[in-house]
Amino acid sequence: MDLPAESQLRYRELFDRVPIGLYRTTHDGDFLEANLALAEMLGFPDAADLAAQRWKDLWVEPADWDRWLVSIERDGVVRGFETRVRGADGSIRWLVVEARGIPDEDGQVRWHEGSALDFTERRSAEEALRASEARKGAMLEAAIDAVVTMDDRGRITEFSPAAERTFGYNRDDVIGKELADVLVPPDLRERHRGGLARYLATGEALILGRRIELRAMRADGHEIPVEVAINRIDVPGPPTFTGYVRDISAQRRLEESLRQAQKMDAIGQLAGGVAHDFNNMLTVIDGFSTLLLDELDTADARRELVEEIQRATGRAASLTDQLMAVSRRQALRLQAVDLNKLTAGLQPLLGRVVLEDVAVVVRTADEPVVVDIDDVQFEQVILNLAFNARDAMPAGGTLTIETGIVELDAAYAAIRPGVNPGSYAMLVVSDTGIGMDDATQARIFEPFFTTKDVGKGTGLGLAMIYGTVKQSGGHIGIESEPDYGTSVRIYLPLSHTVPAERAKATNPTRRRLGPGVKVLVIEDEDQVRELMVRALQKAGCTVITATDGAGALEAVDPDGRLDLAVTDVVMPGRSGPEVVRQLRRTRPRLRALYVSGFAPRFATSGASSPDLEPHFLQKPFTLTEFIDAVREVLDAPEGGDEGLTWDPQLLALPD
């Protein structure tokens, strides 16, 4: 039955004024009617303009319409169906539509009647929120520092991937737990809780807004040093705090390595200075005692006293040699050496010097491991490490020596001062002995530090090894744990030189020293200079002396003969090489013997060979060694030290 006209009018007014979009459509999607609210929702001037469209064609995704029909045919009603609809201007609106099917007498759907709500703005806000959350998640994922958020009750509300890596927890395992119980060491927990309570009660914040260093605790109970910056997040509601946490364990290890290196350098400087002064004194003591022996008859009872002085001098000279190694100023004769052959060659000796219940295992690399080292000094390095390993295994065990080529990455180099990433030769000496704790390892390379009983060691063994390795351009480290043994790892730069036997110049005849040989001696130590003069004069040489470079140039007759200059390396004003260079302007055949308490690193301006190296004699020396060195210089081929320079960094202390 049709409604009266007045009722139809009231129905139409109500239909159009309802703030919800209302519509009726055929089952095929044609509008039968639509109200003004739906038209305005989609940007049409009035309901008639909207009704002229097909409801089905306004849906952006045809698949959505198909799903809509399936639902309404199956259930007779559709509720809360979200879909996108294209407006009059082409813009896309998100609608929530609901409808029911009106059947005919046969039960078939004649039309749909329903409602629509525009939630485009809400949908945009949700998408913006999701995007913001995604950006937040990406930022947390990419953050290097750990990010931990805590509420006003001290519970963890956010835990970033970096926090998972830093502390060893999974995010789901810590969310909702009290931060103090999870990340704070037991002895600091009450202080943490007290600080939070004080802030909530008074607003007093001692740590907010600045970086501080604290101790934190990992999931395994291990404590680590961290740098923390904590801020309050300005959001409505109870206070929320975010902490940015950085694990500074690697930084602390690097700082400790730097301190250790600086300490070793300082100790080395001190040891080198002491050794230098002792070298001069020991040279004088041994030299003059030798001259005294020459004056005593073989039957003179006093000879035994002088010989005892010389024996004591020899023992003292050995000690200064050790100090020179500690200070990295010993004389090294560098040459290309295959570590495989060096270690394999020592195996028979090692088998004799270690205890019978210590097995010696030598594992060499399949490929040559060539380095530029002094093979004699490194044999001593290996032997000293073997002796230490033997002493660490009083009940027996295994001593293992390994060689190889390894790649040290940037992470390794970052916490070790002076180490660059790259390929290195590796020498490892390991034992299965008693091991060392961290406190012992921290001091193990210090001179005179020893864990042995009094009288069983000087404490210079590992310090010498450290100095030799450093002077050879390498670095050394120790891995040890009580009751689990020790491994000493030495890394050296690889050499690009083929190992070869060092050729030596030979001369079947020995130069006879005598009045025909004129020698210039330049030495600022009066007693050492006097000793060299006496030895040369006793050998029959004519000697001119000077205390420095300027005095030497004045003492030499410009036109007179001069065969040899015996000179200190470092002197006030001009160095020994500089004086020799100037003298050779008029005496190109002049020979030179350089003398020093330190072993300078010489370099020549041109190519050099083992036969043409500068002649150098390190203090302390005996008179026999001195005269032999003089003869060797006079017998050697001419040249070899033209353009000679030296590295003053290795002679920082006055000579």
Write the CB contacts of 67 (distance below 8 Å, at least 6 apart in sequence).
Answer: none
Contact between residue 140 and residue 231 where contact means Cβ atoms under 8 Å apart: no
What does the pLDDT read at residue 642? 46
> What's the pLDDT at 520?
92
Question: CA of 383: how far to CAs of 346, 352, 387, in Å?
Answer: 8, 11, 6
CATH 3.40.50.2300 intervals, the chain: 518-651
CATH topology for 335-493 is Heat Shock Protein 90 (3.30.565)
- pLDDT number for residue 640: 45
Alpha helices in 206-358 (DSSP H): 249-295, 302-326, 339-353
Category of 627 on φ-ψ map: left (φ > 0), alpha (ψ -120 to 50) or beta: alpha
- Three-state DSSP at 209 gives coil
Which of 175-189, 220-234, 414-428 reaches the highest mean pLDDT?
175-189
pLDDT, tens digit, 9 for 90 and up, residues 450-492: 666 544 555 566 777 777 788 777 888 888 888 888 898 989 9
Residue 607: pLDDT band by 50, 70, 90 thresholds?
very low
And the tokens for 56?
A: 């089905």
CATH of domain 143-247: 3.30.450.20
DSSP 12-49: HHHHHHSSSEEEEEETTSBEEEE-HHHHHHHT-SSHHH
* Helix (H/G/I), strand (E/B), else coil: 186: helix
The 10s digit of each residue's pLDDT in 498-548 is 676 544 444 444 456 767 788 999 988 888 888 888 888 888 888 988 988
Residue intervals in the chain for CATH 3.30.450.20: 12-121, 143-247
Reduce the DSSP state of residue 406 to 3 states and report it. strand
| Fold type of domain 259-326 | Helix Hairpins (1.10.287)
Q: Give yes or no for residue 374 having a pLDDT over 80.
A: no
Higher pLDDT, 183 or 440: 183
Query: Which 3 state secondary structure label does DSSP give 330?
Result: coil
- Beta bridge partner(s), residue 205: none
The pTM for the full model equals 0.44
User: Which of residues 169 and 305 earns the better pLDDT score?
Assistant: 169
Point out the least confidently predicted range of 185-194, 363-372, 635-644.
635-644
Q: Which two tokens stand for residue 293?
A: 């022996």
Please write the tens of the pLDDT for every residue from 176-226: 898 988 888 998 888 888 888 888 888 777 677 678 888 889 988 888 898
Chain Cα centroid distance, residue 318: 35
Question: Is residue 470 helix, strand or coil?
Answer: helix
pLDDT at 330 over 60: no
CATH topology of domain 518-651: Rossmann fold (3.40.50)
| CB atoms inside a 10 Å sphere around CB 45 | 11
Q: How far apart are CA 626 and CA 565, in angstroms?
A: 13
Question: What distance lies between CA 389 and its chain's CA centroid?
Answer: 27
* pLDDT at 636 (0 to 100): 77
Q: Percent of the chain having pLDDT more than 90?
A: 3
pLDDT value at position 332? Answer: 59
Instruction: Judge contact between 389 and 486, C-beta under 8 A.
Output: yes
**CATH code linked to domain 12-121:** 3.30.450.20
The boundaries of every CATH 1.10.287.130 domain in the chain are 259-326
Instruction: Identify the top-confidence range among 95-109, 304-318, 480-494, 564-578.
Output: 480-494
Residue extent(s) of CATH 3.30.565.10 domains in the chain: 335-493
Q: pLDDT band for position 265 (50/70/90)?
A: low
> What's the residue count for the chain?
655
In this prediction, residue 250 carries a pLDDT of 76
* Element of type H or E holding 593: strand 591-596
